[in-house]
Structures are given as C-alpha cells and as structure tokens.
Structure 1
Amino acid sequence: MSGVYNSLSDARILDLPTMASTLNATLFRKGDVAYSNDGDGGVSSVNPMADFSNDGGGAGNFSNHTETDFERYTRIVIPTIFGFILVLGLFGNSLVIIVVLADKHMRNTTNILILSLAFADLFFILFCVPFTATGYATTVWPFGQVGCKMAQYAMHVCAYASVYTLVLMALDRYVAVVHAIRSMTWRSERNTWIAVFITWLICLVGNSPILVQYNVHEYPWGAENRSVCINTHHIRDNRVGRTFYTCFLFFGYIIPLGVTLLMYGLMLKRLLYGVVPGGASQSAESIRAKKRVTRMVIIVEVIFAICWLPIQIILFMQAFDKYPAEEATLALLFASNCLAYMNSCVNPILYAFLSENFRRSFCKFLCCSSGSRRMEYERTNARFTVTENNATKTTYVNNSKMYTPV
C-alpha cells in the first residue's frame, strides 16, 4: 500500500478499495505510480492496490455492494465522531485556558505548561478535525492550495508542540521532586515561559518544509475528478514520505516519550529508594500535593502515548508499503485516527478528576461563584521557617511564588 496516502488528516484512503479497477481502466501503471495517458508523463495518482487483479481474484474481497456500504457508512460515522471531538475539545481546552489566564493563583510553572498543552490541543482540533471531517464527507479538497498548506503545517506543529510540552512537564516534575531546593529558583514563571516559547519556535521552524511539500493533488476517479491535500513530493519520490514519517515516529513519539520515561524513572527511583533533597524541610501537605500533581502529569503522558501509538505505527507501515488495503485494516486506520484526535479533548477531563485546583477553578468559573468562599490552592514546593527579631515566620514557596502569611 503506497505511503502517498499518509497524512494526519488524509481521508482519500477511502478510494483504495476500488482504485485498482478504476485506474486500470483509465491509466497505465509504471511501478507503484500511476501515470495519465495524456502523454505528458505527469503523475496523476498512485496505485496502492497493485496486488489486486481485475479478474476477481485479488479484488474479490471488495464487492461493489460492500465498497458502497463501507464508504457510505464511513462518510457518516467518522464525521459524526469528529463533530463530537470538535465540540468537546473546544469547550474543554478553552475552559482550561480561561481559568489559568483569569485566575492568578493558577499561574504556576506546571499550569503554564498545561496552558501550552491546552493551546496545542485547541489549535490541533481547530486545524485538523474540521478539515479531516470534510475530507471524509466529500471527494474534493474545497479549501484551496493555501488552505492545504496551512492546515497540514498547523496540525503537525501542534502535534510536535504537544509531545514536547509533555517533555517539559516531565522535566518540571523531575526538578520539583528530585531537586526541591534548587528548583525554587529554576522553576520560575519567567523561565517556564521562555521554555514554552523556545519549544513552539523550534516546532514552527522545524515543520516549515511542509509548506513546500504539501499541495492539492487532483486525480480522475471514473467519471469524476477528485482531489486531496497530500505530500506531492512523496508521489515523485517515495523516499521523501519514508523519511518524513520515520522522523515523525522517532522525533514526534519515540524519542520524547523515551526521555520522559527516563526522567520519571529517575524520579520514582529517588522517591522509592532515596531521600528527596529538602525533604526534611517540606511539610506533609507539600509532599502530598507534589505526589498528586506528579500523578496527574504521568497519567496525561500515558494517555497521550496510548492514543497516538496506533496511528504512529500505521503511518510508518504505510510509508514503507507494509499496510494492507483491506476493509478491516481501513476500519482500524479510521479508529486510530479518531483515537489520536480524541487525545486532544480528554486532558481537561483528566484535570477535572485528578487536580483539586482545576476542579475548583472549573466549578468557580462554570457556576459563577461569588468568590467569597476562600479557595485553597495546593502548594507543590518546599516550606521553610526563618527567625527574625525573635519571631518565627513560616515562608512558603507556593508553586514558584514565595509568600509569608501574616
């Protein structure tokens, strides 16, 4: 199966079951690439079903009735699921952004990273889900060349920004737990914003080749002309697609999650078998708060790894022509696509269940509470005491903000 149809938002794979017979009727094939008979030698499409003959042997797995039903149901079910993801993701991530920006008590290092992740998820949903749903529901790309380039660029930038924000969250947890004293100066809002800015800048610059590689590709399909937004450079040279999705798998999944796993491993080792620096000066409440925040971040990372694993494997297999074009495998691809998109709307739900701070802030915002009731915010750093003028005062480092209660 040709990797040309690889994309985070490519729905034209719906054409695969009948592409072999249609292309053989209108085109002649050379290798894996189908060329038009108009004599100009231009690439018009790709034949991913080269192993299926027209004599009913190989292609017999797809009867006309089955093909029609499969495509019809897919064009209804998948956009419906995407619509649900769009509404839930927009609401949840917007709520996270609002409560962090509006409530000064919520602006700490961990929540700034959660804010970056919420923006990445929100932009991913806005730039990926509607375009993909349209691709499933129609047979043409209606958004033009600029829309094709910008949509693909934005969705890949957001995908990378999400995973590397998770790396920053793991790093934040590591220094907060293992280097509790020194992290009082490291884990500042200013340093966190700088790290977020650098991460987004690298993602924006690193994905700039997409603006050149992705274009609207038109191809004949029986009596109609269809179009799709794909990596046209891959059509000319399949090594481009293989390199692209190998990099996406390793730099967008394996390497960042491997680094994250290493940091959590070192952190858990210290918590289980060693003494956390500064532990003697930390209150039991502070230690419990750290554990709760760390548990929440780990669960967010695990959910991300689970949701993105199937689509990463499938995209990689497609790029190397190892993914079979069968009804069951196509259904698995669609399900994996939905699972990856679903990850962008589950994080706010996780925050609501796992973080007391977010749960209270959500309730305060949604219920429009007057604010007369004092809200307690978890302290996730050290507490220490100082003696001044024969009076002892307790000083807290509250999520990177130092204050002394009167």
Structure 2
Amino acid sequence: MPESWNASSNSLEVRAAGIIVPVVFFLIFLLGTVGNGLVLAVLLRNGQVKYNTTNLFILNLAMADLCFIICCVPFQATIYTLDGWLFGPFACKAVHFLIYLTMYASSFTLAAVSVDRYLAIRYPLKSRDLRTSRNAAVAIIVIWTLSLLFAGPYLSYYQIVHYHGLPICVPIWEDQRRKILDILTFVFGYLLPVVVVSLAYARTIKFLWTSLDPI
C-alpha cells in the first residue's frame, strides 16, 4: 500500500506541475508583454524620449525586458513541461544567450537610471550638460556592448546532449572555466549593479533628508 500511495502522490505532483507551471509562465508572458508594451507605446507616442535622459533609459529597460519575455519565457516554460528540448541546437544557444544578454542590459540600465536620478536631484543645474540625450544614447550603446561581451561566452556554454534518448539543452564546459564564468556573471550581472543602485539611492535619500528644513 505505501508504494502505491507514493506512486499516486508522485503522479498527482506531476499532473499539478503540468498545469501550474504553464499557467504561471503564461501569466508572466502576458503581464510582461502588456506592461512593457504599454511603456514603449506611451514613451514613443508622446515623443518624450527625445528630451529626457531618464525616459531613454526606461525605454531601453522596457526593450530589454520585452525581448526577454518574448524570446526566452516561452522556451523556458517548455523546459518544465516537456521531457526534452525540441527546438534544436541553435535555439538552445540563442535562447540562453538572450537570457543573459537581456539580464546584463537590464542590470546595467537600472544602475544607469539610479546614477541619472542622483545627479538630477543632487546637482540639478550642474548635471544638465552631462545629462543630455546624446550622452544617454552613448551610455545605452555602451550598455549593450558590454552586455554582448559578457553574454557572448554563453553561445558556446549551452549544448544539446542526449539523456536516455531525449535531447536536453544543458551547460557544458570545463569545471574551471565554468566557475570563472559563473563568478563573472554574479559579480558584473548582479553584485556591481546592486552596489551602484544602492549607493546612488542611499546618497539621494541622504541628500533629501538633510535638505529638509527643521520643523
């Protein structure tokens, strides 16, 4: 009896996962597409992008997020719902490359937004010559260039292997190179952007707090 109960429990868990996972990914896809699409529509329709550096960065962030939602989320959903990778070796490399490319672009853009907001609040007049649309465009080009450089190794990182006759898309690299790449991804894709954002907003809050007139 216990074995039959375990088998029945496992079967129920598999069925539940087969229903819940697609629903969750569908909601992520729907909300992400609609939300970022609305951001792009509002900025581009009203013509605000040409005159505001912050809006340029927000536009770039929305484009990176929308790219991730459209190009990556549907494929990621199939990993949890299908037995194997059915889209071939090119998609295996391209999807995971885009995942890290958009991750880096989003992280770097959030850091740029935090610095831009700090300069606008702390030095509203002095930063005018620096916070121009041209400089924002240059910063966005630098963001995507760095993102391409950091995400590039993932084109050879993921490959198709066969496990029990099923094709699976998995990372295959030497242990040492894999550790180095994972460390670089953590430091430059997460740690440094978090430090920049935290410092920028901490200094902004400190400035606003000390600027308040005593009651």
TM-score, normalised to structure 1, is 0.49
Distance (Å, rounded) in 2 between the aligned partners of 1:186 and 1:117: 20
How far is 1:274 from its partner?
4.6
Give the one of 123, 147, 155 matched to 2:67.
123
User: Which residue of structure 2 aligns with residue 96 of structure 1?
Assistant: 39
Partner of 2:25: 82
Amino acid at match of 1:246: I
Could you tell me how far 1:216 is from its partner in structure 2?
Answer: 1.2
Correspondence for 2:180 among 221, 243, 246: 243
**CA offsets, 1:45-67, max 9 Å, x none?**
xxxxxxxxxxxxxxx9x943333
> Which one-letter code corresponds to 1:232 in the other structure?
I
The aligned amino acid for 1:196 is I
TM-score, reference length from structure 2: 0.89
1:164 alignment partner in structure 2: 108
> 2:43, 2:49 within 8 Å by CA — same for their partners in 1?
yes
State the Cα deviation string for residues 305-330 of structure 1 (Å, max 9, x = none): xxxxxxxxxxxxxxxxxxxxxxxxxx
Of 171, 189, 208 in structure 2, the residue corresponding to residue 231 of structure 1 is: 171
Aligned residue number for residue 138 of structure 1 = 82
Pick which of 90-99 and 245-254 moved more: 245-254
Amino acid at match of 1:203: S
The answer to whether structure 1 residue 196 and structure 2 residue 140 are counterparts is yes
* Contact in 1 for aligned 2:100/2:151 (Cα 8 Å): yes
Higher helix share: 2
Q: Do the aligned partners of 1:217 and 1:232 also contact (CA within 8 Å) in 2?
A: no
Tell me the equivalent position of 2:149.
205
1:248-290, CA deviations, whole angstroms, 9 ceiling, x for partnerless residues?
Answer: 2222112211111111122222222258xxxxxxxxxxxxxxx
Ranges in structure 1 where 5+ consecutive residues have no aligned partner? 1-59, 276-406
SS, match of residue 186 in structure 1: coil
Q: State the distance in 2 between where 1:229 and 1:243 align.
A: 21
1:108-132 Cα deviation digits (max 9, x unpaired): 1111111011011101111221001
CA deviation vs aligned residue, 1:321-353 (integer Å, no higher than 9, x gap): xxxxxxxxxxxxxxxxxxxxxxxxxxxxxxxxx
Structure 2 unmatched runs, 5+: none
Counterpart code for 2:58: I
Find the aligned partners of 2:96 and 2:48 in 1 and give their Cα distance: 36
- Give the corresponding residue for 1:174: 118
Cα separation, partners in 2 of 1:207 and 1:105, compared to 1, 3 Å: closer
Q: Percent identity over the alignment? A: 33
More strand by percentage: 1
Residue 68 (structure 1) aligns with: 11
Count of matched residue pairs: 208
CA offsets per residue over residues 361-405 of structure 1, 9 Å max, x none? xxxxxxxxxxxxxxxxxxxxxxxxxxxxxxxxxxxxxxxxxxxxx
Which SS does the other structure have where 1:217 is aligned? strand
Q: Secondary structure at the match of 1:92?
A: helix
Residues in 1 aligned to 2:7 and 2:175: alpha-carbon distance in whole angstroms: 30
Counterparts of 1:82 and 1:270 in 2: how far apart (Å)? Answer: 41
Correspondences of 1:51-66 after superposition (within 5 Å): 63-66=6-9
Deviations 1:130-179 (A, max 9, x none): 00111222111111000111000011100111111000000100110111
Report the Cα distance in structure 2 between the residues aligned to 1:149 and 1:106, rounded to whole angstroms: 33
Q: Are the aligned partners of 1:99 and 1:106 in contact in 2 as well (CA < 8 Å)?
A: no
